[in-house]
Amino acid sequence: MASNYSSHLNDKVKSIISSWIFFNELRTLSFVLEPLCKAVLALERREANLSDCYFVLACTSAAIKNLPNFNADFQNYCIEKINLRFQEFDHDNYLMAYFLNPRYGRC
């Protein structure tokens, strides 16, 4: 891409696009954002219920846990924020709805 459009890009942008790190970080970001996008869509449905809230949080946690280890600071930050959200969901109603959901265990 950097070589095909070199006349339209300045040197700083060319070096960023040409680097392996840029695309690796972009892949990590998409890996984290995918379950979050699915979560928003699931929770905006008319049929959303308590188990959906807990389910998308569990799926997001699984995705963050499976992040590549090259950026431990970002992963630790995400885990810290997810743990805060899990504390908000620490109610028997959420847990019961989650365990009774047919999708239980499929993250």
pTM of full prediction above 0.85: no
107 residues of the chain, pLDDT tens digit each: 445 555 556 777 777 767 777 777 788 788 878 888 888 888 888 887 777 777 788 888 888 888 776 678 888 888 898 888 888 877 787 777 777 777 666 66
- CA-to-CA dists, residue 18 to 12, 23, 29, 31, 55, angstroms: 10, 9, 18, 21, 38
79, 64 contact by CB (below 8 A): yes
